C-alpha cells in the first residue's frame, strides 16, 4: 500500500515538473549544446535559412471559352546558395476538371496534379503552366481555384546538420591580434564595475541604515536605476553626456571648468597629468563603467542593507560602552559582519557584468575601446554575420566563466577552512 | 583634543554648506538662470563664520530666531554678490541656509569637548551629504528624461541648460512629443505588443511554475535535489550565450518576428527564478492542511488550486509582478528576434527610433518616459512585496 502511494507521488511529481523542465531544457540547456556544435562549423547568417521550393499560383481565364482555364505556377528555389533535391509538387482541383495536356513530369489522378520536378539548383526559376477544361462544360469559378494552394516538398542539406567540423573559428578568435585587448577590456569593465557597485552599495546601505526623515522613500529611490528599463536609461545618459548639447558638458562649460566639450562616450583615451606624469585613461570605457556602477549598485545596496539590519544592536551598544569611535565601529563590527554578503555579491555581479551586453551596446555600440566579449558575440554573429565565429566567442565566454567560478570557489573554500 | 574639534567642526560644516549651496545653484542654473560662478570661497568663509558664530552664541538666542538671522545675512550678502536673480532663487537660498543652521545647531560648544565628537559629526554630515548626493545623482537622469520630453527641438538646441517648463502654453503643445510618437511612430501598437508579451509571459510562467514549485516543495521523487540546485545554476547562465543558437533555431522554425517566439524565450528565462521563489514560499505553508485534503481524496490539482494557490496569493502576485517587469524591460532577445517594425516591443521600438540620427531627442525621451513609467509605478506602489523578492535575487541584470 505504502509503496503504491510513494509511486503515485513520484508520478505526480514528474507530471507536475515536466512542462517546466521540458521548456527550460529546450530553450536554455539545448542551445548551450547547440552552441558548441555551431562553434565548430563555418556557418554564415545567410546559410541558416533552409532552402524551400516555392510556387506562386496565377489563375488566368482564357477568353471566349469560360469552361477552360490556364493556371501558371511560378516555381523557384528560395535559396541563392543551395540546391533542393527531389522536388515534389501537388495541387488539388474540383471534380469536374480535366487536364488538356500533361507535362511528362506530371501525373493527374483523382483530381490531383502530382509532379516530380527532380533537382533544382540554387536560384532556379521556372514558369510552369497547365490548362484545364471542365468535362460538363460548366463555367469555372476562379475563386475556388485560388483558394487551394500547391504543396511543394524537397530535401536539401541543412548546413547546420552535416558532419563537417573545423577549428577555424577558435583559431580566429584566440589568435586574433585584438583578443588580448578584448579580454582586458572585458576584465576592466567587469572588475571595476563590480567593485564600484559594491563600494557604493556599502556606502548607501550604511546611510539608509540610520534613522532619518524620508528613509523609506530614499530606499525606493535608490532602487530606481535597477528596476527601470535599460533602454530608457541608456538613452537618457547618452543625452546627458552628449558633447554637442548635452547637459553635463554645457554645465561644465558654463561654470568654466572645461573649455571645450569632452566626448565622454566617443573618445577612447584621455591624457591626465598627475604630478608631471601623463596618464592615459580609457575615457569611454570609464564612462561605461560609471553607468554600470550607477545602474547596479542598488542590488549591492539591498543585499548589504538586509544584512546590516540583521546585525544585533547589542554589538554596537557594547562598543559604545567601550568608547569606540564610529570608524572603529565600522571596521571592527560592521565590516566583518558583511564580508560573507560581499563575497556572494562579488560573485553574482562579476558573472552578470561579465555577460552584460545591453548596457555597452546601447551606450557606445562597442566603439571607442568599449568592445567587450558579449559585444563581440553580437558583432561577429550579426554585424560580420559569421554565426560560427559568434558561437565560438560565446563558448570562450562560458569557459572563462567556469574557470572564474572554479577558482573563486576554491579560494572561498580555503578561506572558510582557515576560519 | 578640544582645539582640534574646534577647528574641524567649522571646516566640516562649511564643506557641507558649500555642497548644499552648489546643488541649489546647479538646479537654479538648470531653470535657465545665468549663474556662471559658484563663489565657492566666499560660501566657505561664510560657513566658517556661521559655525563660529553659532558656537559663540550657543543657546542664548532661540534657535528659530538664530536660524532666521543667520540665513537672512547670508541671503543678503549672496544677493549682493550675484545680482539680478529672481526672488524664488533667494527664497531657495534662504531655505537651504535655514536647514543648514538647524543641522549644526545639534552640536553645542559642550559637545565638542567629548571624545570622538569630530568623527560623530563627520559621519552625521557624511550621511546627510550621501542622502543629498545620491538623490541628486539618481533622480537627475529621470528628471531630465521627463523634462526633455516636454521641450521642443529648438529650445533644446538654443539653451541645453534651460530645464524650465512653460506651463503657460497649450496642453497640446506641451504634450506634442507624445502626440507625435503615438501618431507617426505607432507607439500605441508597441505598447500593446509589450503588454501582450509581458502579461502572456506572466500567465504562462505561473502556469508552469506553480505545479513545478509545488512538486519540488512537497513531493518526494528521484532527482529532486538535483532539480532544486540546478535551478539556481541555470539562472546564473548568461543570456548572451543563448542568443546565437536560439536565433538560428528560431529562424529555421519561423518563430522570429513573432510574439509566440518571444513568449517562449521569456517564459523559459523567467521560469527558474519563479520556481525558486514559489517553492520557498510553499514550504512555509503548514503541511497539515494538505494532509486533511488527501484524506478527503482531493487530487493534486485540487490541492494546488484549492489550498496552495489561495494561501500563497502574496507570493504569487510578487512573482507575477517580477516576471512582468523582467519581460517588460527585456531588450537583448527583442533586439535579436524582432526586425520587422510591426512586431516590435516598446524597448526595441525606442532602440529602432534612436537608430535614425534625425529623430528629435524629445521623441526619444517621450518614448523612454512611456516605457519607464509603468515599471516605476508598479515598483513604488507594490514596493513592500517587491523588496523582499529583490534580495532573493529575482531580477537578473
What is the predicted ipTM?
0.89
Q: Is the pLDDT of residue B168 over 80?
A: no
What is A177-385's CATH topology?
Answer: MetI-like fold (1.10.3720)
Give Cα A419 distance to the centre of its chain. Answer: 41
Using the 3D structure, point to which of B128, B158, B188 is the last residue of a domain. Answer: B158
Residue B131 CB-half CA count within 13 A = 19
| Residue B127: HSE in the Cβ half-sphere, 13 Å Cα cutoff | 18
B240 reaches A (C-beta below 8 A): yes
Residue that is written with C-alpha cell 493556371 in the block: A71
Answer with the one of B125, B158, B191 that is the final residue of a domain.
B158
User: Would you call B157 an interface residue with chain A, using a CB distance cutoff of 8 Å?
Assistant: yes
Cell of A362: 546601447
Check CB contact of A390 with chain B, cutoff 8 Å. yes
Q: Please check whether residues B322 and B223 belong to one and the same domain.
A: yes
Main-chain dihedrals φ then ψ at residue B162, nearest 5 degrees: -85, 105
B154 and B186 fall within a common domain: no
Residue B340 backbone phi and psi in degrees, to 5: -105, 115
Residue in B39, B133, B141 to test binding to A, most A beta-carbons within 10 Å: B141
In this complex, do A50 and B137 lie within 8 Å of one another by their Cβ atoms? no
Q: How far is CA B295 from CA A15, B214, B299, B303, in A?
A: 21, 19, 10, 11
B261/B152 same-domain check:
no
What are the boundaries of each domain within chain A? 2-47, 51-155, 177-385
For B200, the grid coordinates are 502572456
All residues at 6 or more sequence positions from A132 whose CB lies less than 8 Å from its CB, including other chains: A68, A69, A70, A71, A93, A97, A98, A99, A100, A140
Contact with chain A for residue B361, Cβ under 8 A: yes
For residues B105 and B233, membership in a common domain is answered with no
- Structural contact between residues A296 and A349, judged by C-beta atoms closer than 8 angstroms: yes
Q: Compute the distance between CA of residue B25 and CA of residue A123 in angstroms, rounded to an integer.
A: 68
Q: How many whole angstroms from its chain centre is CA A58?
A: 42
Long-range contacts of A179-187 (CB under 8 A, 24+ apart): A182/A371, A182/A372, A182/A373, A182/A376, A183/A373, A185/A285, A185/A369, A185/A370, A185/A371, A185/A372, A186/A354, A186/A372, A186/A373
Q: Does A350 touch chain B (CB under 8 A)?
A: no
- The answer to whether A36 touches A97, Cβ cutoff 8 Å, is no
DSSP A34-88: HHHHHHTS--BGGGGSPP-EEEEEEEEEPTT-TTEEEEEEEEEES-SS--EEEEE
Q: Which residues of B touch A38 (CB under 8 A)?
A: 244-245, 248
The answer to whether position B247 is within a domain reads yes
Helices (H), A165-282: 168-174, 179-208, 215-227, 230-241, 247-254
Q: Do B244 and A391 touch (CB under 8 A)?
A: yes
Q: Structural domain tally of chain B? A: 2
pLDDT confidence of B393, banded at 50, 70, 90?
low
CATH code for position B310: 1.10.3720.10
Q: How many helices (H) and strands (E) does chain A have?
A: 15, 10
Nearest-CA neighbor of A192 among A21, A372, A330, A53?
A: A372
- Domain of residue B282 covers 179-391
Contact yes or no for B13/B51 (Cβ under 8 A)? yes
All 3 cell numbers of residue B59?
543657546
**Contact (Cβ atoms closer than 8 angstroms) between residue A385 and residue A44:** yes
What pLDDT score was predicted for residue B193? Answer: 92
Is A22 touching B (CB cutoff 8 A)? Answer: no
Q: State what percent of residues in chain B have pLDDT above 70.
A: 96
Measure CB to CB from residue B368 to each of A207, A236, A247 and give the nearest one: A236
Domain-embedded: residue B172: no
Say which residue, A140 or B321, is predicted with more confidence.
B321
How far apart (Å, rounded) are the C-alpha atoms in residues A354 and A192?
A: 11
Q: Among A50, A190, A228, which would you mutate to test the B interface (most chain B Cβ atoms within 10 Å of its Cβ)?
A: A228
Mark yes or no for CB contact A212/B127 under 8 Å.
Answer: yes
Condensed to tens digits (0 to 9), the pLDDT of residues B52-91 reads 888 777 767 777 777 777 778 777 777 777 667 777 888 8
Preferred mutation among A13, A160, A261, A319 to probe B, highest tally of B CBs within 10 A: A13
If DSSP codes are grouped into helix, strand and coil, which group holds residue B223? coil
Q: Out of A233-242, B30-39, B133-142, which region has the weakest mean confidence (pLDDT)?
A: B30-39
A248 contacts chain B (CB < 8 A) = no
Phi, psi (degrees; rounded to nearest 5) at A339: -60, -35
Q: Which of A12, A48, A221 sits opposite B252 (nearest CB)?
A: A48
Count CB atoms within 10 A of the CB of residue B121. Answer: 22
H helix intervals, chain B:
2-29, 40-57, 63-81, 87-104, 117-149, 153-158, 171-174, 176-183, 187-218, 224-236, 239-253, 259-283, 288-295, 300-303, 309-311, 313-329, 332-337, 346-355, 361-381, 383-391
Considering B127, B158, B189, which residue would you say is the last residue of a domain? B158
Between B234 and A292, name the one with better pLDDT: A292
Where is pLDDT greater, at A138 or B258?
B258
Backbone phi, psi, residue A76, to 5°: -160, 160
Listed in sequence order, the DSSP H helices in A279-334 are: 283-310, 313-321, 326-329
CA B329/CA B332 separation, integer angstroms = 10
Query: Which single residue is written with the C-alpha cell 596618464?
Result: A279
Does domain A51-155 match CATH 3.30.420.60? no
Pick from A12, A203, A235: CB nearest B354: A235
Contact A295, A360 (CB under 8 A): no
Nearest-by-CA chain B residue for A361: B332
Say yes or no: B254 and B327 in one domain: yes
Tell me if chain B has a CB within 8 Å of the CB of A223: yes
DSSP code for A264: T
**A310 and chain B in contact, CB less than 8 A:** no
Q: Is 80 exceeded by the pLDDT of residue B2?
A: no
Identify whether B72 is part of a domain.
yes
Calpha distance B376→A379 (Å, rounded)? 32
Is the same domain home to B142 and B183? no
Residues of chain B contacting residue A357, judged by C-beta atoms under 8 Å apart: 239-240, 332
- Distance, in Å, from the CA atom of A314 to the CA atom of A323, rounded to the nearest integer, reads 14
For A211, nearest residue in chain B (alpha carbons)? B127
- Tell me the per-residue pLDDT of B344-391, one tens digit each, with 9 for 90 and over: 999 999 999 888 877 888 889 999 999 999 999 988 888 877 776 666
Yes or no: say if A118 and A86 are a contact pair by the CB < 8 Å rule.
yes
Q: Is A287 on the interface with B (CB under 8 A)?
A: no
Q: Is B85 left (phi over 0), alpha (psi -120 to 50) or beta?
A: beta
pLDDT, one tens digit per residue, over B103-112 is 877 777 777 7
Spatial distance between the Cα atoms of A89 and A69, rounded to a whole number of angstroms:
20
End-to-end Cα spacing for chain A:
50
Q: Model confidence at B38, in pLDDT bands (50, 70, 90)? A: confident
Give B 89-148 residues with CB within 8 A of chain A. Answer: 115-116, 119-120, 122-123, 127, 130-131, 134-135, 137-139, 141-142, 144-145, 148
Residue B311 has a CB neighbour count (10 Å cut-off) of 16
Contacts of A346 (CB under 8 A, 6+ apart): A194, A198
> Who among B212, B214, B268 is closest to A27 (CB)?
B268
**Mean pLDDT throughout B228-235?**
80
Contact yes or no for A16 and B214 at CB 8 A: yes
Query: Which residues in B lie closer than 8 A to residue A382 (C-beta atoms)?
Result: 336
The sheet that has A84-92: what strands, in order across it? A106-109, A112-120, A84-92, A151-155
Cβ neighbours of residue A65 closer than 8 Å, sequence gap 6 or more: none
Write down the pLDDT at residue A419: 47
**Is the separation of the CB atoms in B148 and A239 below 8 Å?**
yes
pLDDT tens for chain A, 419 residues: list them: 456 777 888 888 888 888 888 888 888 888 888 888 888 888 887 777 777 788 888 887 776 777 778 888 888 887 777 778 888 888 888 777 777 777 778 888 777 888 888 888 888 888 888 887 777 777 777 777 777 788 888 877 777 777 778 888 888 888 888 889 999 999 999 999 999 999 999 999 988 888 888 888 888 889 899 999 999 999 999 988 988 878 888 888 888 888 888 888 877 888 777 777 777 788 899 999 999 999 999 989 988 988 888 888 888 889 888 888 888 888 888 888 888 889 888 988 898 899 899 999 999 988 888 899 999 999 988 888 888 889 999 999 999 988 988 888 888 766 655 54
Residue B222: CB partners within 8 Å, gap ≥ 6?
Answer: A10
Answer yes or no: do B263 and B148 share one domain: no
* Residue B184 CB burial class (10 angstroms; 0-12, 13-18, ≥19): exposed
CA–CA dist A324, A318 (Å, integer): 9
Q: What is the DSSP string of A3-38?
A: HHHHHHHHHHHHHHHHHHHHHHIIIIIHHHHHHHHH
Based on the fold, state whether residues B105 and B183 are members of the same structural domain. Answer: no
Residue B222 has pLDDT above 70, yes or no: yes
Query: Does any CB of chain B come closer than 8 Å to the CB of residue A197?
Result: no
Residues A166 and A389: beta-carbon distance below 8 Å: no
Distance CA A324, CA A316 (A): 9
Residue B296 has pLDDT above 70, yes or no: yes
Instruction: Write out chain A residues lying below 8 Å of B239, CB-based.
Output: 355, 357
Tally of CB atoms within 10 A around B132: 14
Amino acid at each position: 500500500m505504502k509503496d503504491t502511494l510513494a509511486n503515485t507521488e513520484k508520478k505526480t511529481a514528474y507530471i507536475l515538473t515536466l512542462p517546466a523542465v521540458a521548456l527550460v531544457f529546450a530553450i536554455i540547456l539545448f542551445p548551450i549544446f547547440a552552441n558548441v556544435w555551431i562553434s565548430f562549423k563555418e556557418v554564415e547568417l545567410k546559410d541558416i535559412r533552409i532552402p524551400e521550393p516555392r510556387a506562386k499560383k496565377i489563375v488566368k481565364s482564357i477568353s471566349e471559352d469560360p469552361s477552360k482555364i490556364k493556371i501558371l505556377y511560378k516555381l523557384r528555389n528560395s535559396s541563392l546558395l543551395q540546391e533542393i533535391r527531389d522536388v515534389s509538387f501537388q495541387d488539388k482541383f474540383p471534380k469536374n476538371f480535366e487536364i488538356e495536356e500533361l507535362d511528362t513530369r506530371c501525373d493527374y489522378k483523382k483530381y490531383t496534379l502530382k509532379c516530380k520536378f527532380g533537382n533544382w539548383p540554387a536560384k532556379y526559376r521556372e514558369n510552369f503552366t497547365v490548362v484545364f477544361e471542365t468535362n460538363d462544360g460548366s463555367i469555372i469559378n476562379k475563386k475556388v481555384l485560388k483558394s487551394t494552394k500547391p504543396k511543394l516538398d524537397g530535401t536539401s542539406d541543412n548546413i547546420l546538420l552535416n558532419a563537417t567540423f573545423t577549428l577555424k573559428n577558435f583559431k580566429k578568435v584566440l589568435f586574433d591580434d585584438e583578443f588580448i585587448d578584448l579580454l582586458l577590456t572585458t576584465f576592466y569593465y567587469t572588475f571595476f564595475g563590480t567593485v564600484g557597485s559594491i563600494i557604493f552599495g556599502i556606502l548607501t546601505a550604511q546611510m539608509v541604515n540610520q534613522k532619518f526623515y524620508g528613509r523609506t522613500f530614499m530606499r525606493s529611490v535608490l532602487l530606481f536605476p535597477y528596476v527601470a528599463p535599460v533602454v530608457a536609461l541608456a538613452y537618457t545618459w547618452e543625452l546627458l553626456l552628449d558633447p554637442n548639447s548635452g547637459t553635463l558638458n554645457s554645465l561644465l562649460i558654463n561654470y568654466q571648468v572645461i573649455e571645450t566639450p569632452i566626448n565622454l562616450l566617443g573618445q577612447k583615451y584621455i591624457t591626465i597629468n598627475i604630478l608631471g606624469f601623463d596618464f592615459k585613461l580609457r575615457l569611454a570605457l570609464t564612462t561605461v563603467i560609471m553607468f554600470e556602477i550607477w545602474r547596479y549598485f542598488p542590488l549591492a545596496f539591498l543585499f548589504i542593507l538586509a544584512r546590516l539590519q540583521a546585525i544585533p544592536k547589542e554589538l554596537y551598544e557594547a562598543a559604545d560602552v567601550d568608547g569606540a569611535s564610529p570608524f572603529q565601529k565600522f571596521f571592527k563590527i560592521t565590516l566583518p559582519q558583511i564580508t560573507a554578503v560581499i563575497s556572494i555579491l562579488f560573485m553574482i555581479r562579476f558573472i552578470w557584468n561579465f555577460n552584460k551586453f545591453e548596457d555597452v551596446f546601447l551606450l557606445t555600440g562597442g566603439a571607442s575601446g568599449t568592445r567587450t566579449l558579449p559585444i563581440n558575440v553580437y558583432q561577429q554573429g550579426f554585424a560580420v554575420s559569421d554565426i560560427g565565429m559568434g558561437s565560438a566567442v560565446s563558448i570562450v565566454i562560458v569557459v572563462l566563466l567556469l574557470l572564474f567560478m572554479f577558482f573563486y570557489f576554491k579560494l572561498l573554500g580555503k578561506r572558510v577552512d582557515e576560519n | 583634543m578640544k582645539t582640534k574639534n574646534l577647528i574641524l567642526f567649522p571646516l566640516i560644516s562649511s564643506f557641507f554648506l558649500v555642497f548644499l549651496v552648489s546643488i541649489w545653484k546647479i538646479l537654479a542654473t538648470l531653470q535657465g538662470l545665468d549663474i556662471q560662478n559658484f563663489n565657492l570661497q566666499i560660501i566657505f568663509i561664510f560657513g566658517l563664520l556661521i559655525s563660529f558664530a553659532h558656537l559663540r552664541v550657543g543657546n542664548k538666542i532661540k534657535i528659530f530666531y538664530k536660524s532666521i538671522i543667520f540665513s537672512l545675512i547670508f541671503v543678503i550678502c549672496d544677493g549682493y554678490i550675484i545680482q539680478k536673480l529672481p526672488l524664488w532663487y533667494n527664497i531657495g537660498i534662504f531655505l537651504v541656509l535655514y536647514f543648514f543652521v538647524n543641522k549644526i545647531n545639534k552640536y553645542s560648544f559642550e559637545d565638542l569637548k567629548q571624545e570622538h565628537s569630530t568623527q560623530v559629526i563627520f559621519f552625521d554630515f557624511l550621511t546627510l551629504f550621501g542622502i543629498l548626493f545620491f538623490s541628486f545623482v539618481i533622480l537627475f537622469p529621470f528628471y531630465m528624461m521627463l523634462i526633455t520630453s516636454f521641450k521642443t527641438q529648438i529650445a533644446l538646441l538654443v539653451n541645453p541648460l534651460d530645464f524650465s517648463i512653460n506651463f503657460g502654453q497649450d496642453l497640446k503643445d506641451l504634450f506634442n512629443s507624445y502626440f507625435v510618437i503615438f501618431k507617426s511612430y505607432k507607439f500605441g501598437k508597441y505598447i500593446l505588443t509589450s503588454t501582450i508579451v509581458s502579461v502572456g509571459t506572466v500567465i504562462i510562467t505561473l502556469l508552469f511554475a506553480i505545479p513545478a514549485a509545488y512538486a519540488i516543495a512537497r513531493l518526494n521523487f528521484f532527482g529532486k535535489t538535483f532539480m532544486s540546485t540546478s535551478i539556481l545554476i541555470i539562472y546564473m547562465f548568461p543570456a548572451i550565450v543563448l542568443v546565437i543558437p536560439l536565433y538560428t533555431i528560431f529562424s529555421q522554425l519561423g518563430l522570429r518576428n513573432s510574439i509566440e517566439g518571444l513568449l517562449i524565450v521569456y517564459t523559459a528565462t523567467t521560469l527558474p527564478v519563479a520556481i525558486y521563489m514559489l517553492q520557498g514560499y510553499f514550504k512555509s505553508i503548514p503541511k497539515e492542511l494538505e494532509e486533511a485534503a488527501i484524506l478527503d481524496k482531493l487530487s493534486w490539482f485540487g490541492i494546488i488550486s484549492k489550498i496552495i494557490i489561495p494561501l500563497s496569493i502574496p507570493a504569487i502576485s510578487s512573482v507575477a509582478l517580477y516576471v512582468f517587469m523582467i519581460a517588460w524591460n527585456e531588450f537583448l532577445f527583442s533586439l535579436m528576434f524582432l526586425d520587422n517594425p510591426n512586431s516590435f516591443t516598446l524597448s526595441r521600438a525606442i532602440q529602432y527610433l534612436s537608430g535614425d540620427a534625425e529623430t528629435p531627442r524629445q521623441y526619444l525621451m517621450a518614448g523612454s518616459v512611456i516605457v519607464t513609467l509603468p515599471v516605476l509605478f508598479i515598483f513604488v506602489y507594490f514596493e513592500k512585496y517587491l523588496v523582499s523578492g529583490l534580495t532573493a535575487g529575482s531580477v537578473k541584470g
